[in-house]
Amino acid sequence: MSLSLLAAEGGTDCGNGTPHLFGNNGGFSCVAPSSEDFDFSNRPWFHIAGYGVTKPVVLVALIVVLMIGFFWAAFNKPKMVPRGVQNVAEVAYLFVRDRMARDSMGKQGDRYVPFLFALFFFVWLMNVMSFVPGIQFPVSSVYSFPLALALMVWLTYMFAGFQRHGLGYFKVLGVPSGVPLGILLILTPIELLSNIFIRPFTLGIRLFANMFAGHLLIATFSAGAWYMFSVKGIVFSGASFTMAIVMTGFELFIQALQAYIFVMLTASYLAGALEEAH
Amino acid sequence: MTSAMILASEFNPIKPKGDELVIGTIAFLIIFVIFWKKLLPNIKKTLDERTDAIEGGMKRAEEAQAAAAALQEEYQRNLTEARHEAAKITQHAREQGAEIVAQMRGEGQEQRDNLVAGGRAQLDADAAATRSALKGDLGTLAIALASKIVGESLEDEARQRGTVDRFLSELEAKADAEAGAKAGA
């Protein structure tokens, strides 16, 4: 954990490079990590044609380059007998195709493999930026990016549903099978609201909130270790530092898990859109 | 309370920003289109070809194995047939050989019997001829010899005849006894 970077991201410096959590008056004399750390709008790295390019935007561009670069190397001229990165990328491809697309949609899921594949690695890379030394910021903790993806998922499954069922897709969305008519009066509005309007936001917020909270936890423990080293001594500082390490390891797991959940939910929404009307 | 705390309360983390939404969407679409149009069809094709190659190879191997098995079976069948044939020929030859030997043996025996019988008849004939020839000569010689020794002519023809016959009989009996003694030996 690079504290100088965190401190720089925090926007406020703790009094000329001498960080101190507790001031003379017993209150905060220094800014603890907060949601403020996720606001980059007032501190762009550089400007392109008047637009201030912030850290998350640079990271998104970096993800585009990394992802295309890696899979271009693996899949541009694929060999019958795979070598090097092609092996790894094939495992990833088969995982998305077999475990995600086919398990939820069957053979017709093959059509959506490119979407799910791009989605999975895009989300995972956004998450894993939290772990890369010198970057240490999960792009997905900026809500706009998960939301953009969730809206695209929404468009995709709505389109697939109306393509398959026509206007009958409203029935698929709003009328669960085997529910008595009386209950449908209450249930259908809830189902329609849930499946059409709330879904994209829950999908985006689930990812965002997980990464946001995880990053905040690590930042808090790291800052705590740093501050307490000067005031409370090695024991408190060490405990906090240990927690920062533990949480970083835990986050590494969460990053992959959240990317998996995001794509699995997408696949299940698509499966719901493609299933036969009942 | 610092100014930063106040700022923090103004920043709302779940308020999406238009520019980031657009950038996020474009970034994803760039990735998606490249994967959808270029990279994933590539690897899909390769995986299909690999499946084909593996399945094709396995099929070819199976065919080769089946062909080899058929060949082996045919070879085995031919070998068995050939063994049968050989055994049959050997048996036949053996029978034929035995037959020929028996036949030859019979013929040889017959030939030998014929030869023996012919020889014996010839011998008998020769012996009889010799004997009759000798019988005439011997009478004349004996008389001539006796006339010369006695110096007188024998007056009594009847007596003479009797004497000669008796002498010859004695001679014959003697020769027979000798021949019998020789055969016995």
User: A210 falls in which pLDDT band (50, 70, 90)?
Assistant: very high
| C-beta of residue A123 within 8 angstroms of C-beta of residue A239 | no
Neighbours of B98 (CB within 10 A): 10
- Domain residues of chain B, as ranges? 18-127
A56 to B13: CB separation less than 8 angstroms, yes or no: no
pTM higher than the cut 0.80: no
The pLDDT score that the predictor gives to residue A6 is 42
Does the beta-carbon distance from B31 to A122 stay under 8 Å?
yes
Q: How far apart are CA A270 and CA A247, in angstroms?
A: 34
Interface confidence, given as ipTM, is 0.83
pLDDT value of residue A226: 82
Residues of the domain holding A221: 3-274
Please report residues of B whose CB lies closer than 8 A to that of A57. Answer: 20, 23
Q: Is the pLDDT of residue B128 over 80?
A: yes
Asked whether the predicted pLDDT for residue A154 surpasses 90, the reply is: yes
* φ, ψ of residue A213 in degrees (nearest 5): -65, -40
DSSP structure class, residue A277: P
Q: What is the pLDDT of residues B69-123, one digit of tens each?
A: 999 999 999 999 999 999 999 999 999 999 999 999 999 999 999 999 999 999 9
Q: Which residue of B has its CA nearest to A12?
A: B4
pLDDT value for A117? 92
- Chain A / chain B CB contacts < 8 angstroms: 120
Query: pLDDT for B3-17, tens place per residue?
Result: 444 444 577 888 888
- Structurally, chain A folds into a number of domains equal to 1
Furthest CA-CA distance within chain A:
71
Q: How many CB atoms lie within 10 A of CB B139?
A: 15
Separation CA B32–CA B37 (nearest Å): 8
Cα separation of B121 and A3, whole Å?
Answer: 148
pLDDT of residue B140: 81
Q: What is the pLDDT of residues B18-61, one digit of tens each?
A: 888 898 999 999 999 998 988 888 888 888 888 888 888 888 88
Residue A108: is its pLDDT beyond 60? Answer: yes
Q: How far apart are CA A114 and CA A67, in angstroms?
A: 13
8 Å CB contact of A41 and B49: no
Q: What is the DSSP string of A213-245?
A: HHHHHHHHHHHHHHHHHHHT-HHHHHHHHHHHH
How far B89 CA sits from the closest chain A CA (Å)? Answer: 60
> Residue range A227-237: average pLDDT?
80
A3-29: average pLDDT? 44
The Cα A61–Cα B28 span in angstroms is 10
Which H or E run includes A155?
Answer: helix A144-165
Residue bearing the bigger pLDDT, B136 or A185: A185
Using the Cβ of B54 and the Cβ atoms of chain A, whether some distance falls under 8 Å is answered with no
CB contact under 8 A, A67 and B16: no
Please say whether the beta carbons of B46 and A78 come within 8 A: yes
Per-residue DSSP letters for B49-80? HHHHHHHHHHHHHHHHHHHHHHHHHHHHHHHH
Q: What are the backbone angles phi and psi of residue A40, rounded to the nearest 5°?
A: -105, 5
Best mutation site among A21, A36, A37, A66 for testing chain B: the one with the most B CBs within 10 Å?
A36
Sort A26 into a burial class: Cβ within 10 Å, 0-12 / 13-18 / 19+.
exposed
Q: A50 by DSSP, 3-state: which?
A: coil
Mean pLDDT (whole number) for A45-54: 83
pLDDT confidence of residue B90: 93
Q: Which residues of A touch B51 (CB under 8 A)?
A: none
Higher pLDDT, B12 or A255: A255
Token representation of residue A278: 């009942």
